[in-house]
Amino acid sequence: MFGKRLLSSVVLVALALIFLLAGGIWLGTLITVLSLVAFRELMCACQVEKEGKTGFLEWVGYAGIVFYGLSMTLTRDFSLGLGILVFLFLGEMFVYVFRFPVYKAQQVMTAFFCAFYPCVLFSFVYLTRELTHGIYLVWFIFISSWICDTCAYLSGMALGRHKLAPVLSPKKSVEGAVGGTVGSALVGALFAWIFLLPVRKDVSVVWVAAVICAAGAVISQVGDLAASAIKRNHEIKDYGKLIPGHGGIMDRFDSVLFTAPIIYYLSVVLLKVGFA
């Protein structure tokens, strides 16, 4: 199991490196595909449609995610993206009304949530990459999530005494959460010192990067717990089996989804960057 997980992690990092460096249409396409898969995983986990079936609510969700992905990739226009989300909502309501009483209100609301959750949050990976110096800034997302996850695990194993969320995730500790946050801040500062400082020529970028990654790490742990809570509610172990040793897209990217918008907005506010 550990060997599978390690090999999958190496492949994921390699793919992340390729697509994040490429950026543009390549990254935008990948983000859209990941959003579609994550949407399917959430729909199945929440049992919105009949088991094994792809119904009208799901097809509307797929269409909305594709159009949202195209709008972000081709225009980076937030108002257009918001408009597509409105039409996604209206589309789900059309299905609700004209297929009544096939679908219940809870199914319609859950379907919209399942589309919004990965689609919008994943798009901030692409938007961060498109910022000035985004080729470096986008790595803060993964430092704040994947590095945090590793540091939290190690510090929790060594020092963990107090439960962070005893009912939801008994193995997570406060000490682990602190260790993950500190670890992300230190790695973020080191990353900024090596890569950002030479292009920004301002030493303050190092401590600002530490703050950004620390904030991202805190939020990433909430994202991890939120995805776990959904699984607990629906009594499933993993969202899927796409990634050996990890589960599905939602299992591996749950913390990334929460971290991405935080890194984007903190980069814009604290580092004062805009689209390149």
Residues 78, 213 share a domain: no
Residues 150, 271 share a domain: yes
Query: How many domains does the chain divide into?
Result: 2
Residues 203, 118 share a domain: no
Residues 210, 80 share a domain: no
What pLDDT does residue 168 have?
92
Domain limits for position 207: 1-21+132-276
Residues 178, 137 share a domain: yes
Residues 112, 151 share a domain: no
Residues 160, 272 share a domain: yes
Residues 112, 57 share a domain: yes
Pick out the chain residues at pLDDT < 50.
2
- Looking at 129, 155, 170, the residue that finishes a domain is 129
**List of residues 6+ apart from 94 with CB closer than 8 A:** 60
- Looking at 82, 108, 129, the residue that finishes a domain is 129
Burial of 52 (0-12, 13-18, 19+ CB in 10 A): exposed
pLDDT tens, 248-266? 999 999 999 999 999 999 9
Backbone Cα Rg of the chain: 19
- At 264, list the tokens: 């984007």
Residues 159, 174: Cα–Cα separation, whole Å: 9
- Looking at 129, 152, 186, the residue that finishes a domain is 129
Residues 172, 119 share a domain: no
What pLDDT does residue 1 have?
54
What pLDDT does residue 52 have?
64
pLDDT tens, 96-125? 999 999 999 999 999 999 999 999 999 999
